[in-house]
Chain A
Amino acid sequence: MDMKVAKKKLGLKEKYRLMTRDLGWEPTYRAKDEVFPYVNYEGIKVHDWDKWEDPFRLTMDSYWKYQAEKERKFYAIIDAHAQNNGHLNITDARYLSALKIFLQAISPGEYAAHKGFARVGREFPGVGTQVACQMQAIDEIRHAQTQIHALSNYNKYYDGFHAFADARDRIWYTSVARSFFDDAMSAGPFEFMIAIGFSFEYVLTNLLFVPFMSGAAYNGDMATVTFGFSAQSDEARHMTLGLECIKFMLEQDPDNLPIVQGWLDKWFWRGFRVLGLVSTMMDYMLPKRVMSWREAWEIYGVENGGALFKDLARYGIRPPKGWDDAEKAIDHMSHQFMLGLYQWSFGTSFHSWIPSDEDMDWLSAKYPTTFDKYYRPRWDHIRKLAAAGTPFKNFGLAKLCQTCQLPVVFTEPDDATMSCHRETEYKGEKYHFCSDGCQHIFDNEPEKYVQAWLPMPSLFQELDGDIGAWMNWVSLRDGEDNGDYSGSRDQRNFDQWRGMATSNT
């Protein structure tokens, strides 16, 4: 008699094994070094690739299922947001400056991360690694797309969103994020993993995403909250990949420790600089603030980061070299950036403004040792200049750091009244830096950083200093996208439309 035997359902672990079993073949007619030519030159010694496990063991079919589900939810909410004039639910159109910076500088970074992971997924020999990197590559391109789609709705109503791709390629402040990713992508696969997989995704990402998404929620921006959640659920996988990578390197050979430590020092500082603008978003750009940058740093930097480096101490890893300088900068950086953004706002594709009395009182409460002492007098003076009809515009342009490419707005770690001046000479050329951290990075690999395309010097090289021609080139519409929020078209439109939505006049 025939018995009906139920087909045995495969467990996830089994599925994963079947999915990857044919990927790790031994090449027969080519040497392994030819197939994977980039895994040795960085000096990382690996004895057993099988030790790099992919702890998620996500198979492709379940990966597509999860992601498709998230996409469906995401686009349903984005559609609802568009149809219900969700843009009028935000607290104030000043909030949009944070989104504009995000779209111009960070979303392209997601795309760059996609390219980077697609590449290292090919360059690493281990099968688990290849699969995890490939999935992360797909995640990253999805993040870039969902962010662009979510924010495109604001482009129908507000200035500064229309040319984010030109801004990404050409406008001065985006070269900071671009150079960060270019630096990582032009490094070898292991350094890339430390740069993006570990330092950015693990050590620093919470400082970006958590404040950003809670900022969006606090300020009524459901579109951004939605792409945030949709991306955040991938981050657990990304963080695990980054942490897995660093542990793998450290466990494979003791000689790997100094190389890994050097990368940690470098990429912590680069990441700290590139995420510095988040401080300004938190302290100045959110009409309704979540917490101060200082408070966020305490939670996500000091507590979480501190615990992480304690955990890694058993491998001989110490906290990154720039950690103490970072700590000293926390109470200053948001103010230093915002003062810069305001005085150069003729050249930004977003608005900035002079903080109100209420804003300044909040800032002095959150920064009791620095704001009133150093920064309030400057804002008071800037306000006087504006009231006198001579608003402050700094047409001097700015000295940029050769490494991080930020304007040198920073002060000495132990003296907030002194600009940080650092310079060096290499092969007869002078180079300037914003900090010891950035100078160390340059000194370690000068041949890499001498090639930096610095936007301010380039303005003189290529356009003879003609700001109008430069605005055309970066697709910045003078008088619309740039300048003070007060009196801007964004302000006028938002106030008018919101008035129409909430009253009868």
Chain B
Amino acid sequence: MTVAAIKEYVGVPRDRVENFNGKQLVYVSWDHHLLFAAPFLLCLAPQTSFRELVEGPLTALVQPDPDSAAIDWTKVEWLKSNQPWMPDFERSLADNGIGHKDQIRMRTPGLASLSAAA
């Protein structure tokens, strides 16, 4: 739908990828691990490999959760844009099809130390 206006109304998005100095945004969250109040916002080069994302910022960020040491990264289930999805750890974000502002979710069935008992 359109904005009611007295003349043509066109909005210019503020956070297009070209405004990020060659990098892009990626959102990452860990299902049922709400010690982290919101999904993480990462700003990375599209050439970053998925392994670098995981072993770098992601591992550091999830460290405060008591389940973090028990994560078996080979068994994590991934979602992208809320759909099941399989990343290739050796390939870049771009080659994995992770676009600017994509939301990635990880699931670790069985790990739920701080989560409510169902």
Seen from chain A, the residues whose Cβ lies within 8 Å of a Cβ on chain B are 37-38, 41-43, 188, 336, 339-340, 343-344, 373-374, 377-378, 381-382, 385, 390, 392, 394-400, 407-409, 411, 416-419, 421, 423, 427, 429-432, 443-454, 456-458, 460-461, 464-465
Contact B15 A445 (CB under 8 A): no
16 contacts between A and B (CB under 8 A): A42-B4, A377-B115, A378-B34, A399-B29, A407-B38, A417-B32, A421-B103, A423-B82, A431-B101, A444-B1, A446-B11, A448-B3, A450-B13, A451-B14, A457-B41, A461-B20
Expressed in whole angstroms, the Cα–Cα distance for A413 and B36 within the complex equals 18
Main secondary structure of the interface of B (DSSP, over half): loop
- Chain A residue at smallest Cβ distance from B58: A396
B61 at the interface (CB under 8 A from A): yes
- Chain A residue at smallest Cβ distance from B82: A421
Contact B16 A397 (CB under 8 A): no
Q: Which residues of A contact B20 (CB under 8 A)?
A: 457, 460-461
Expressed in whole angstroms, the Cα–Cα distance for A451 and B3 within the complex equals 13
Given A41-B6, A430-B101, A453-B14, do A399 and B43 touch, yes or no (CB 8 Å)? no
Given A381-B114, A421-B82, A423-B81, do A451 and B11 touch, yes or no (CB 8 Å)? yes
Contact A432 B27 (CB under 8 A): yes
B35 to chain A, nearest CB (A): 5
- Chain B residue at smallest Cβ distance from A397: B41
Q: Which residues of B contact A432 (CB under 8 A)?
A: 27, 101, 103
Which of B5, B16, B35 is A41 in contact with, Cβ under 8 Å?
B5
B23 at the interface (CB under 8 A from A): yes
Expressed in whole angstroms, the Cα–Cα distance for A377 and B25 within the complex equals 31
Q: Which residues of A contact B103 (CB under 8 A)?
A: 399, 421, 423, 430, 432
Q: How many residues of B contact A (CB 8 A)?
A: 50
Expressed in whole angstroms, the Cα–Cα distance for A390 and B12 within the complex equals 43
Q: Which residues of A contact B74 (CB under 8 A)?
A: none
Contact B1 A344 (CB under 8 A): no
B64 at the interface (CB under 8 A from A): yes
B69 at the interface (CB under 8 A from A): no
B12 to chain A, nearest CB (A): 6
Q: Which residues of A contact B61 (CB under 8 A)?
A: 394-396
Contact A340 B38 (CB under 8 A): yes
Contact A394 B36 (CB under 8 A): yes
Tell me the chain B residues, 7-46 only, with Cβ under 8 Å from chain A. Answer: 9-16, 19-21, 23, 25, 27, 29, 31-32, 34-43
